Structure 1
């Protein structure tokens, strides 16, 4: 396939980095197959070689191949270049990388990112490349002096894309200066860190990192997004010597909205956003008349500073993913042995996963047997972040003195 140039503009050819482009494609393939396979064969550890066959080596059948190819074509807007059909003919990772590069060389103005789909239907969010580059150009000066980027996030999600695919060039880094942390443990992080490193993570990664790394080398900066980082984690990282932790507020729908280095400070609105509406959650981007609704309620200190004060859509964060307890409850209620159920995020002392309180249809049901049944039921119907890690049972759901739904303690 000949490679033709398009009119994306100077500095926009992020796809020319073959290693980075192959990482993007591999991340998307792995993410799509994991979403299709609630159970099934485990994928081989990454990084994957260029000659990895997506069908044979990953065990993808014809339907899975079609689904993954469609997802990559959608992500890169391949219908604009007209070469998406090659994905079902040339099936190695290296060939898909070359097809992606060729497609982007012909059209790269828009990209599609998907939400996690924790409600059951992933949402496609289309972004102009120029808008993403605008965000990176504003973030880059905050991170001057970065010598390497170490990433614990997938590059096909919007946060990972911005910070591992676009940001390196804005910081003047070479392809080899981006290192994938996901194949190692948190304990190995401390051995890899050097002065000038920027570590891209999410709250659960940082929770594990602060336990494993007792003292950070001088001059190491962190970045976190996908969910508010709990204050106790930010404080622990500071005590362990992390120079700074950049907290980015945004979503797949909006990309980045604001940032802060101090967890006790409000977020600073990026310069191209402005407040809109009276509910605190509406925003307008320069050059766009469409009001974007944030997924959190925002409390504004002035026109440029804000603090998120809770999800509007009732999502919670598990392992860096948006999870909806209401959806998990609906799946549990479909089990014939369940009369009623409540699902919540665990208390900090209990863990960082979901828990469920179940009212059995048969009051005499054996709790251990029902627990095993529900665990298997959840494993077949829910993604790993959605599956409750603790089940409690009782004759009625917990309520407070006013009869409103209440939390419960996990016992034994």
Structure 2
């Protein structure tokens, strides 16, 4: 009797809408002509507002100002600031003239700034003067002598910024139109530095075609039209803010709402209410913070219908509350990485709650995904765990001036190897079970931390939890759970956690150690830094031994 071959873990995304062949500037121009009077950008902190016609005029003024400084196609322009209207204006102004926008992490310190300025060869840096504990001006002064290619520093909200705009107001619009006509959708337009866990970060180089199409199709799957108003509390410096947020909006004529320079639960909820937002973005920890805000019940969130949760796996309990208490019935889970512009898979509005809490959805339009054996590279059958790979319009041009690192990430067939472990089911839905490097091997048993985290989230006193592997002389590795308790809850210890898990989790999946914390070490984009947690855990255990 013949055996039916198993279906491989491969899927490709179809669409009745073709890929966009525009540059970002051309696409913005089309939107402005269609919706000149609709809201384009609202900055809550200052109360400033732009219609699409006003936004385009200010983008062109800034673009002409940059041209007056001889900044042109291929030149690198850095931006180092928290979320603000000028950040968005700079994003589109650089795209209009073909300059490559280098987004600098607002959390960077002087040595990291110096590295990015030199590695990208930044000619002009737009920067905040200071924010919270960061004195950007002092750090720029410190590193500037070591950055020979840095010709111009333009601090926001200073006479230098105003002079740049004044030059732009005196510029010739014909020169800008001529410059834009020279651009190609395949030109590099953005460098985003990955928050590398070892060594210095790498600059993922993205084209107009990469990020414009990704923003457009993410917006399509969210059902965006010119009537949508999107609250964007996630950082612009990362793809979540500038692509899934800004470009998804401008490619549909929707409004971009900036609730605050950095994430604040109350400010975000207030922005949703005041601006009648229909969509809200965030990583799970942001939604947890909003749901736990003391004034949560007082905000009118009735205009919300959708949003995006991404950046890290979403606990089922959090997703349920976002739908039930925030009214985001069509909330979407997105999966991706900076190197893929970023989204490769997304849930759809008609997906069940189970699909949205247990998977990251299906492959996006015009993209391919497969799950492969990390050792052999062969595609595994559906239902088996392997490394997730993706291919298509979204895959970066490469790491900036790093051909070896590029070839390690993108194979000869242009598949991007994500480093994530995933399972594809019979319907093509993907479940991401962890990072290859995060998988814990305890006494020969493979343990995926996310499974344990999901289970511990069901404890009534647990607000949030992260599980890591720590060294163990007997088993090689043991599990440690870092737990944030709900307000007023009695502290949990290892014995209490074991009792909660007893008979419900396999014994080898029960955390041996429990560490209570007020917060987790995070990247500025809201991803938990498990590498930093493991380092701290080793120190904690050494002190107790």
Which residues in structure 2 correspond to 1:54-69 (within 5 Å)? 58-65=137-144
C-alpha spacing 1:121/1:256, structure 2 compared with 1 (3 Å): same
Conserved in 1, the CA contact under 8 Å of 2:110 and 2:139? no
2:327 aligned residue (242, 247, 269): 242
Aligned residue among 228, 249, 264 for 2:354: 264
Task: Provide the rounded CA distance (Å) in 2 between the counterparts of 1:305 and 1:342.
Answer: 31
Matching residue within 140, 153, 157 for 2:238: 157
Q: In the TM superposition, what is the alpha-carbon distance from 1:201 to its structure 2 partner?
A: 1.2
Give distance in 1, aligned partners of 2:212 and 2:102: 23
> Over residues 150-198 of structure 1, what are the superposed CA-to-partner deviations in whole Å (9 max), with x where a residue is unaligned?
2221112122221233122112035xx4314344631333333234432
Shift of 1:269: 0.7
The SS at the match of 1:293 is strand
Report the counterpart of residue 371 of structure 1 in structure 2.
none
Aligned match for 2:379, one of 278, 283, 286 = 278
Mapped pair 1:93 → 2:159: no
1:65 is displaced (CA, Å) by 3.9
- For the structure 1 residues 23 and 230, does the alpha-carbon distance in structure 2 shift closer, same or farther, using more than 3 Å as the test? farther
Contact map agreement 2:211 2:394 (CA 8 A) in 1: no
- The 2-side partners of 1:29 and 1:9 are apart by 24
The counterpart of 1:21, out of the listed 88, 99, 106, is 88
Alignment of 1:103-252 (within 5 A): 109-110=187-188, 111-141=190-220, 142-145=222-225, 147-173=228-254, 177-183=256-262, 185-194=264-273, 195-212=276-293, 213-214=296-297, 217-220=301-304, 221-243=306-328, 244-252=330-338
Q: What is the rounded CA distance, in whole Å, between the counterparts of 1:122 and 1:256 in structure 2?
A: 20
In structure 2, how many angstroms separate the alpha carbons of the residues matched to 1:128 and 1:240?
39
CA distance in 2, matches of 1:51, 1:227: 28
> Cα offset for 1:343?
8.9
Kept after mapping to 1: 8 A contact 2:231/2:268: no
C-alpha contact 1:168 1:178 (8 A) present in aligned 2: no
Measure, in 2, the Cα distance between the counterparts of 1:325 and 1:124.
28
Report the Cα offset of residue 396 of structure 1. 7.7
Question: Once the 2 structures are TM-superposed, how far is the Cα of residue 287 of structure 1 from its aligned partner?
Answer: 9.8
Alpha carbons of 1:159 and 1:240: their partners in 2 closer, same or farther (altered >3 Å)? same
SS of 2:368 mapped into structure 1: strand
CA 1:257–1:278: 2 relative to 1, 3 Å: same
* Preserved contact between residue 259 and residue 270 of structure 1 (Cα < 8 Å): yes
Please report the RMSD computed on the Cα atoms of aligned residues, expressed in angstroms: 4.7
Output the CA distance in 2 between the equivalents of 1:200 and 1:231. 17
Check if 1:11 corresponds to 2:27: yes
Q: Distance in 1 between matches of 2:537 and 2:307?
A: 29
CA distance in 2 between partners of 1:7 and 1:191 (Å) = 35
Number of residues of Structure 1 aligned to a counterpart in Structure 2: 315
Displacement after TM superposition at 1:250 (Å): 0.4
Aligned to 1:305: 429
Shift of 1:120: 3.9
TM-score w.r.t. the length of structure 2 is 0.47
Distance (Å, rounded) in 2 between the aligned partners of 1:324 and 1:96: 46
1:294 alignment partner, SS class? strand
Decide whether the 8 Å contact of 1:246 with 1:259 is kept in 2. yes
Any conservation in 2 of the 1:275–1:303 contact (CA below 8 Å)?
A: no
* Higher radius of gyration, 1 or 2: 2
What is the CA-CA distance between 1:240 and the residue it aligns to? Answer: 0.7
* Alpha-carbon separation, structure 2, partners of 1:300 and 1:159: 24
Normalised to the residue count of structure 1, the TM-score between the two structures is 0.61
